[in-house]
Amino acid sequence: MPDVRMKRRTFLGLGAGLTVTFLAGCSLPVIPKRPDPTPETALGWIRHRDGRYVLSLPRAEIGQNIATALKQIACDELGVDWDAVDLQLAATGDIERVRATVGSESVKDFALPLAQACATLRDAVAAGRTGGTLTAEPRPMSALRAFAKDARYVGKPVPLEQADAIVLGAPVYAADMRRPGMAFARVLRAPASPDLASRPAAWNESAARAVPGFVKLVEDPLLRQGKSDGLGIVAETPGALDRIAAALDVQWEIDGGFEATDIERAIDIDRRLAKGALSHELVGESVDRNGPWDVDLRIDVPLGAHAPIEPRAAVAEFDGDGLQLWVGSQDIFYIRDVMVRRLGLDAEDVVVHAQRVGGAFGGKTLCTVELEAAVLARAAGRAVKVQWTRDQEFRQGFHRPPSSHRVRARLKDGRVEDWWHAFATTHVFFTNAGLPPWMQSLTTFIGDGGAARGAIPSYRIASRRIEHDLERLPVLTGPWRGLGAGPNALAIECAMDECARRAGEDPVAFRLAHIDNPRLARVLKQAAAAAGWNEPRKGRGIACGIYKETSYAAVVADVTVSDGDVRVERLWCAHDCGRVINPDQVRAQCEGNLVWGLGMALTDRLPVADGRVAAETFADSPIPSIDQVPPMDILLVESDEPPTGAGETAIVAASGAILNAIRDATGVRPARLPVTPTDLIASES
């Protein structure tokens, strides 16, 4: 068969008109909207139908089991049995717009409006007013049944919503969806970072058409992701996609390139400090930067993947009423907005159905696979499913930004007198996965609150200087569990540990001497007591912190080190997130954070080479395996304070406790993550 290759000029010419229209209409990216939930909007989440109640979940269910927690609140406030409330994952046509499921806000910001709405509906049903428009009455937490100490469901373990459906393989995830006549599709891209301009130069279309199961080859400028022009393929079966891709044998053009050393050099904090002050000053108190320092640490944190177990997927279908999408997204309304803008549709003609998300951690906030599915469904004239491979998750998703930290401290009378934390990283909120270079460069002047999160210590220190630089990198970065709080808190807790050692004090007592916040002091004391801190043991570390000024955690870690190999033997975590709605799920969130911190310390590194993320499987970018996960003791602080977030809190202490335990076991302070046997052995020699 002759090798018939379509040339790049032909490819570009096919979409020239649409490209002009697209660029003219989309010079600015679609910006997510973040409305605050209110009792009035919450009335749309809970409805009474035929003697039963239906709760439309206003949050994405991403494994945190917020469906269970909000149903607990609804049942208690309505005063009904568990089985009297049916839960459904919402579609964009079911409820008013809600903001993305991010920031550990689901209980913190949605519990009270839901309870207030349920109280209004309960009173209306009791009075026989089941029709007409209701007006939610603002009621304080103290007047709501769901938050009373004798609540029937809140504060107690209950069966997980959708647990049976998950076990039985019901279509609760996007990848499980099946539609009549559905085809399967994929977008092929160059083996390069989406931040490098790339395009298909030539391909063998006739060979692809000869593959059994071939449906369509799709060339559309809307298949561009970042600067990467894609080529779509549609097939009758998932297995045919690999064979079609091989037959196409696409030849790619890629502009530019980079190596891992380019990224390391770009954010090297010492190199930047040598040039003078950094661009963004978080705290600018007077600190003598030229005198001797008692503690002077360098810590480097590499790129890290979100690594959800579920690669993202979407099903798209155009029917007589418009476009329907089934997605695993953290923001279905943002997905709808992108469809409206990119495809030129009216909002009422797009319905986005929320499915469960098999892990997200901030990585499923933008529109990627969803737009691919919609474009390919339109081209194929039938329902289409697009599911990324693990390779695509690594290479086309955005990742934890790398960061480089220098922390210096000066002691006086055994207490921290001067503190200087300087770090360099890249953008989190203003991600290059969503913003063009010109727009991101504007944000560089105002800073990035995501990158700076958690950088201000929760300790009493006389003089502090905290500053950072932002640098656009050629890999995609963005929100990652805890945002900057993980790396920033790690640097803080390692430095505080060294300060305690320099002062000759116990790390717990030293921290307590610098803490004014009673809730932070309480979790620190509880974690230490649970671990038997006063019993002598080599290889023990502690760390603590506050997440978003609302939730508190402290972690103790025990480790052993043999020939440089680190094993975490046990972890203790004390956690205060105010009133606990579901203790089992808060414990699960703590456990997830502890494993996340273990990974940050010992396994997480996303390799980069030849102008791209070089990982294809978990073998290339590993996550902690089950044999690396130690026993965990989770202590939940009983509190009458309003509920706050639990999804990211312990990240402020998990990795710091492990690094401090390694320091205690070996006498070596690791300077870069993840900690490797080579680094420890080299430091000891």
Q: What percentage of the chain carries pLDDT values higher than 70?
A: 95
Q: What is the pLDDT of residues 211-230, one digit of tens each?
A: 999 999 999 999 999 999 99
- Please tell me whether residue 366 adopts helix, strand or coil conformation: coil
Contacts of 574 (CB under 8 A, 6+ apart): 522, 523, 524, 526, 527, 530, 553, 554, 555, 635, 637
**Single residue among 165, 191, 209 that ends a domain in this structure:** 165
- Decide: 338 and 311 in contact? Cβ < 8 Å: no
Tell me whether residue 376 is in a domain: yes
As a whole number of angstroms, the distance between CA 356 and CA 61 comes to 5
Same-domain pairing of 160 and 275: no
Same domain flag for 595 and 503 = yes
Q: 679 by DSSP, 3-state: which?
A: helix
Confidence tier at 27 by pLDDT (50, 70, 90): low
Tell which of 143, 165, 187 closes a domain.
165
Q: Residues 316, 301: one domain?
A: no
Instruction: Give domain status of residue 9, yes or no.
Output: no
Helix boundaries (H) for 170-259: 205-209, 238-248
Residues 432 and 461 in one domain: yes
Report the candidate in 537, 512, 544, 501 with the shortest Cα–Cα distance to residue 656: 544
- What are phi and psi for residue 334, nearest 5 degrees? -65, -40
**Cα–Cα distance for residue pair 560/159, rounded to 1 Å:** 38
Residue 8 lies in a domain: no
Position 18 pLDDT exceeds 50: no
Residue 553 CA to residue 545 CA, distance in Å, equals 6
Q: Kindly state the average pLDDT of the residues 89-110.
A: 96
Q: What's the rounded mean pLDDT across residues 479-494?
A: 96
- The reply to whether 11 falls in a domain is no
Copy the structure tokens of residue 47: 């409805």
Residue where a domain terminates, one of 339, 354, 387: 387
Residues 75 and 208 in one domain: no
Q: Are 421 and 407 in contact (CB under 8 A)?
A: yes
Q: Are residues 486 and 625 in the same domain?
A: yes
- Rounded distance between C-alpha atoms, residue 648 and residue 641, angstroms: 18
Residues 157 and 122 occupy one common structural domain: yes
* pLDDT given for residue 683 in this prediction: 58
- Of 511, 289, 513, nearest to 418 by C-alpha is 289
> Quick one: the chain helix, strand, coil %, rounded to 5?
35, 25, 40
- HSE-CB of 212 using CA atoms within 13 angstroms: 1
Q: Is residue 508 part of a domain?
A: yes
Helix, strand or coil for residue 434? coil
Handedness of CA 179, 184, 188, 193 (dihedral sign): positive
646 in the same domain as 664: yes
Q: Are residues 435 and 535 in the same domain?
A: yes
Residue 601's SS3 state is helix
Identify the CATH number of the domain in which residue 151 sits: 3.30.365.10
The encoded tokens of residue 285 equal 């108190």
- Residues 378-409 have pLDDT tens digits of 999 999 999 999 999 999 999 999 999 999 99
User: Is 464 in the same domain as 586?
Assistant: yes
Domain that holds residue 352: 175-256+312-387
Is the domain of 576 the same as that of 524? yes
pLDDT, position 119: 97
Number of domain units in the chain: 3
Instruction: Tell me what the mean pLDDT of segment 648-673 comes to.
Output: 96
Whether 243 is covered by a domain: the verdict is yes
Cα distances (Å, whole numbers) of residue 300 to 158, 269, 601, 675: 42, 9, 11, 11
Asked whether residue 538 is domain-assigned, the answer is yes
114 plus 250 within the same structural domain:
no
pTM for the whole structure: 0.93
30 inside domain: no
Number of H helices, E strands in the chain: 21, 23
